[in-house]
Amino acid sequence: MREALFAAADIWMIAIGLICGVKFIRGHHNYLIGLEWIIMGMSGTNFLIYGLTMAGPDSPMFHIAFFLDAFSRSIGFTLILVLGLLVVTHGYKPTTRVEVSAFALAAVLGFCLSEYAREIGTPGKAFLLITALATSGFLCYFAGRLWEIGERAHAGAVAAVTALNVVVAAIYDFWRIPGDDANHTLFYTLALFTWGLAMLVVYRSYTAFATHNSRVGAGIDPVGTSPVH
């Protein structure tokens, strides 16, 4: 039963990541969030295959999963997400250099935090928690902006998934769910479901914000805005 719930949560995250990631790129020309969502979907796909095949820690899939997890938790689902949201909240137009640099930084940190996790130890875990909390703070601001423009349902949804994400981030490296197994199946089921829900909520809220900007003539509608080269 636990394995079925884990697989369902993972497939849910994969579908949301890939579908919404493509929509972010095609519909909003937002490559920052779009590519990060697709990477999340690919990470979930690798994690699902790893879990179903019961591959060990020596498997390449284990190292890929560890790297992609660190990639998103350090910069991808944090700094890159914030930069992407600034497009609708502040009319930010990321240059190609910024986009490439952000993903390059995520790759470097992802490699270091995954390959040298034991050597880095607690400081690395604390860094990931701090980045998650900082991002949650910005998401609370984003929820507030949604509330101000009248998108109260979306604001409430963002606030709810932010709270869930804080719970996941807080227990990720520092606490174990009572009754969970050695593979942390219960935790990963909760985490995958939360991340998938967060990606869906962010996409829908972003779309609502972009529609509002277009409707009021704010001049920062990302649908008609491509990165400045």
Judged against a pLDDT cut of 60, whether residue 223 lies above it is answered with: no
The confidence score (pLDDT) of residue 215 equals: 86
pLDDT tens for 117-135 read: 888 888 999 999 999 999 9
User: pLDDT band at 177, cuts 50/70/90?
Assistant: confident
Position with higher pLDDT, 11 vs 61:
11
Q: Please say whether the dihedral angle defined by the alpha carbons of residues 80, 142, 162 and 189, taken in this order, is positive or negative.
A: negative
When the pLDDT of each residue in the chain is averaged and rounded to a whole number, the result is 90
The confidence score (pLDDT) of residue 206 equals: 98
**Closest residue by Cα to residue 109 from 128, 91, 94:** 128
DSSP-derived letter for residue 59 is S
Assigned CATH topology for domain 2-215: Rhopdopsin 7-helix transmembrane proteins (1.20.1070)
- How far apart (Å, rounded) are the C-alpha atoms in residues 142 and 201? 12
pLDDT tens for 33-45 read: 999 999 999 999 9
The confidence score (pLDDT) of residue 163 equals: 96
The confidence score (pLDDT) of residue 222 equals: 45
The confidence score (pLDDT) of residue 30 equals: 97
User: pLDDT band at 59, cuts 50/70/90?
Assistant: confident
Judged against a pLDDT cut of 70, whether residue 225 lies above it is answered with: no
- Residues 179/186, Cβ–Cβ less than 8 Å: yes
**Side chain identity at residue 143, one-letter code:** A
User: pLDDT band at 226, cuts 50/70/90?
Assistant: very low
Q: Which residues of 43-79 are buried (b: 16+ CB within 10 A; e: fewer)?
A: bbbbbbebbeeeeeeeeebeebbbbbbbbbbbbbbbb
pLDDT tens for 67-103 read: 999 999 999 999 999 999 999 999 999 999 999 999 9
The confidence score (pLDDT) of residue 217 equals: 76
Position with higher pLDDT, 3 vs 129:
129
- How far apart (Å, rounded) are the C-alpha atoms in residues 99 and 2? 39
Residue-range domain boundaries for the chain: 2-215
The confidence score (pLDDT) of residue 219 equals: 53
> How many angstroms from the chain centroid is the CA of residue 52?
23
The confidence score (pLDDT) of residue 179 equals: 78
